[in-house]
Copies of this chain bind each other. A is one copy, B any other.
Amino acid sequence: MSVTTAKGFRAAGVKAGLKSSGNHDLALVVNDGPLQIGAAVFTTNRCQANPILWSKEVIKDSQVQAIVLNSGGANCYTGPEGFQTTHATAELVAEKLGLNAGDVLVCSTGLIGEQLPREKVLAGVAAASEELSNDGGELASLAIMTTDSVPKRAEFKSPAGWSIGGMAKGAGMLAPGLATMLVVITTDAVIDAEFADEALRSATRVTFDRLDSDGCMSTNDQVTLMVSGASGLEPAPEDFRAALIFVCHNLAQQLLSDAEGSSHDIAIRVTNAATEADAVEVGRSVARNNLFKAAIYGNDPNWGRILAAVGVTSAAFDPYNIDVSINGISVSRFGQPDQSRDLVDLTAREVQIEISLNAGDAEATIYTNDLTHEYVEENSAYSS
């Protein structure tokens, strides 16, 4: 299962020498058609890496023939020399495979502010183009890992015969509207460019965009959907939408579970909000509160820190009519304690926070992690 689950795609993952570990670090995914449609969602960080600047141009005509991704360097804040590296990478993919460079997406991930060794990248592209295969998705998913401890792959196979496959990487800088996350999703369903774009945007909005592991947004994020149409089957739009959300949600949960140094996966469900935007704002504020996150690490149901985080938002609510429960125990209602916090058991990895704003009927769930010694260790001891 991976990007080669869907028919019409070949992939490869090779060791180009970009990672100090010597592991796989360059992936290539090629769409053999008959359709060669692409859609992509990019980081909203205004400080964007060179491959993002390049890929945004490529995607404009919704025509994508291949995507090349490297770990071991973000190629961000590397100036014109860095942009030329991205350009040369796309050019070499095109040359090796008989494609147009303008239809080749590029993604990079790793340390910001260091030049990628261009010759190594190009040698890796040459090697990968030789190794493309219909079951190369597994190696490709290894090649995009950075601090990930496991590769992330997902697939959906419809009974009708069309399918969606995907791979993702990301373990830190997981935040609003994507974050140090590279995702490639492929499908052999027959859909048009407009629907591909719209389905991808609506799926990422309720999946990857609701992950907020550490509040830090990457400069390099890109979620790409490639459409080969090789199944010859045209799914009902709602079926395709649901399947795409399934795959995105599955990959997002894998990112959450592998977030750097985390010991709890926390789902913050905000209910009875006036609007979905309010629910997202409240959930995100709690998800970013270091005191709350440290308390969960310590298995401490310190619900005051939840309310303190709710209180800094502009969402509609009466501050003294908010209900908070932790793992099913109602700890606060009507501005005062309800059941004893001692009843809350936080020993399991999964934590369910529910916050009812009593201001409407909208809801949203934000997924985050706790703040642990291991998070501090991983992010202080290594440049990444």
Contact = CB atoms under 8 A, between A and B. Distances in A.
B45 A308 contact: yes
Contact of A309 (B80, B113, B216, B322): B216
A166 interface: no
Interface string A311-338: 1110000011010000000011011110
Contact of A308 (B115, B219, B371, B376): B219
- Number of copies of this chain that the complex holds: 2
Nearest to A331: B113
A344 interface: no
Contacts of A308: 45, 47, 112, 173, 216-219
A383 B291 CA distance: 10
B307 A112 contact: yes
B291 A214 contact: yes
Contacts of A218: 308
Contacts of A219: 304, 307-308, 311
A173 to B, nearest CB: 6
A64 B311 CA distance: 28
Nearest to A289: B216
A352 B367 CA distance: 34
A86 to B, nearest CB: 14
Contact of A290 (B215, B307, B311): B215
B77 A335 contact: yes
Interface string A294-310: 11011010111101111
A111 interface: yes
A77 B217 CA distance: 33
Q: Closest 8 A-B residue pairs measured CB to CB? A: A112-B304, A298-B380, A79-B336, A47-B311, A294-B379, A45-B311, A46-B311, A294-B380
